[in-house]
Structure 1
Amino acid sequence: MTVNKKNFDVVIIGGGPGGLSAALVLGRARKHVAVIDEGRPRNAVTHAGHGFLTRDGISPSEFRRIAKEEISVYPSVSFVDDTAESITGSDGHFQITTSQGIQLESKKVLFAVGMKDRPLPIPGLAEVYGRSAFVCPYCDGWELRDEPLVIINSGPELIHFAPVISGWSDRITFCTNGPDGLTDSERETLQRRVPLYDSPIRHIHSDDGIVREVVLEDGTSIPCRGIFFKPDLVMGSDLPHAIGCQLSEEGHVKVDAFGKTSVPGIFSAGDMTSRMHQKIIAAANGSAAAAALNNELNTEAWLKNG
């Protein structure tokens, strides 16, 4: 979709829960906003999203459809179905160019591009991801309650994850898919409570997306009906780094409580700013960032006109 207007108060890059929530708040604040989104969300692999009050169990596509329908009531918000390719400029005068050559100017920018999965070299995982293999028990643990589960993870995070996942099922097996990265003490603690295998995974067998067993290279077969695994994630765009935003050691954009980055005029919200990758948290981040953006814009206009 091409927009007629080229100058905006805020350009939001990313149209997930964080970006859409920000667009709603800014639209109601009478700010001119463009939301640039390529339409390929990370959660598109799932059939239903959970944990979002009043929208529990809704599909990601339906969630976005309803959000856009509600936002369309506010005429100052435009949607651009495209990918942001470059960003230049400084606070008050940013220029954003999309892959289709659309050029937008904006006083402020909000990054809400989320994270993206790198493919994991585990044969059979792609066939079950989003159907019976997930990354977050708070999002999908209820559907797999009391089922035999395989947890694919390694290192000290296993010690944290073991008691957490036990709230949904006590029939769990841990697979580290290679060297486990645990200390002798940590390994002993886990093995007293749950089976722990460090042999690489040969294949995940499934029927129509429902996992049946995990087979290891040493020949071990682990029957199960669900998997939780640690994904390999990267930011959904290199633009925050390109414009100079400081990143954490984990690869997240550093922000304050209201989404301000280290670059004046640039804000960020959603999964790219936090380890808590849940829709409702991303939406809350987007709302907070939008309020801060609106306050900043209003204050600057007030002082300029005074």
Structure 2
Amino acid sequence: METSIDVGIIGGGPAGLSAALLLGRAKRSVVVIDAEQPRNRVTRESHGFLTRDGIAPGELRRIAREQIGAYPSVAFVEDTAVSVTGADGEFTITTAQGGLYRCKKLLFAVGMKDLPLEIDGLADVYGKSAFVCPYCDGWELRDQPLVLIAKGPRALHMAQTISGWSRHFTICTNGPDEWSDEEREELRLHDVPVFSSPIQQIVSVDGMVQHVLLEDGTSIPCRGIFFVPLLVAGSELPKSLGCQTTDSGTIIVDPSGKTNVPGVFGAGDSATDKYQVVMAASLGSMAAAAINGELLAEDWNRGEPLLP
């Protein structure tokens, strides 16, 4: 059975939900297609979102969907979009369960996916005492002994950033550091301990890290870890439609969320490297306003009467 709607949203995280809210309030018919497997499901709490600081990610989504339920033109479908065809004004989304949704505009809010965590023990602590964003989780680990797992220029940036929350941190590069002599000297001047031996294991109890054990036998006690995740695009569907992406898979969009493909928009983690819940929600709202603006302009230009 085929359903015709104004906007198809693929992805039901903060970006997709924020877009659905605004579009619902604009009286647009919308379907939000989401497989209910968010990247942040391993995280106990989300931080930095005004009025929702410390909320569990699942609870944030539940409240959002409950509130969006006040707008009957928005529907939620627990499914996976497997293909998208068509062009501006006549896109067709096909789902894994055989659903067909014809929509005028399309929003990709598909996020990013973590590649498997190859360090032994890292999966046990991820989201409990190992994190990727100091702005999201640095407060809970303030002034604690930390280990930063990173190499290359990003390690230097991470060290500078984390110093605002704790001065007690060690860098583990898990192999060659990939630094220039100038970068090594900068870390030396700031008395940052650095270990390049590969990590053998992260030892933890109930998800709380106790120490990082290196292959050379070094044991580094710590109470928290920050690391640089390896990410890939949450979906290949944007590329299948011809959307331009960066080398890391991020959809290239303008400030309103428009891609290079007419009628196609991107928002949230899939369209920025600023991975924060409040940023994703903001981008979703801006994309929704741009989508509605296009639909309004198209209706207006067709010369349809304002009154029946």
**Could you state the TM-score of these two structures normalised by the residue count of structure 1?**
0.97
Cα distance in 2 for residues equivalent to 1:218 and 1:144 = 27
Residue 157 of structure 1: how far off its partner (Å):
1.2
Cα distance in 2 for residues equivalent to 1:126 and 1:161 = 20
Number of residue equivalences: 303
CA RMSD of aligned residues (A): 1.0
Residue 5 of structure 1: how far off its partner (Å):
7.2
Report the counterpart of residue 283 of structure 1 in structure 2.
Answer: 281
The AA in structure 1 aligned to 2:40 is: N
Report the counterpart of residue 129 of structure 1 in structure 2.
Answer: 126
Residue among 190, 194, 197 paired with 2:195: 197
Identify unmatched segments of 5+ residues in structure 1.
Answer: none
Identify unmatched segments of 5+ residues in structure 2.
Answer: none
Report the counterpart of residue 64 of structure 1 in structure 2.
Answer: 61
The AA in structure 2 aligned to 1:217 is: E
Residue 34 of structure 1: how far off its partner (Å):
0.2
| 1:189 partner SS | helix
Report the counterpart of residue 178 of structure 1 in structure 2.
Answer: 175
The AA in structure 2 aligned to 1:212 is: Q
Report the counterpart of residue 155 of structure 1 in structure 2.
Answer: 152
Cα distance in 1 for residues equivalent to 2:153 and 2:16 = 33
Cα distance in 2 for residues equivalent to 1:11 and 1:199 = 48
Report the counterpart of residue 261 of structure 2 in structure 1.
Answer: 263
Q: Note if 1:80 corresponds to 2:77.
A: yes
| 2:302 partner SS | helix
The AA in structure 2 aligned to 1:213 is: H
Residue among 224, 231, 244 paired with 1:246: 244
Report the counterpart of residue 206 of structure 1 in structure 2.
Answer: 204
Report the counterpart of residue 219 of structure 1 in structure 2.
Answer: 217
Report the counterpart of residue 52 of structure 2 in structure 1.
Answer: 55
| 1:89 partner SS | strand
Residue 58 of structure 1: how far off its partner (Å):
0.4
Aligned CA distance change for structure 1 residues 96 and 5 (closer, same or farther; 3 Å): closer
What are the within-5 Å matches in structure 2 for residues 80-99 of structure 1? 80-99=77-96
Residue 271 of structure 1: how far off its partner (Å):
0.5
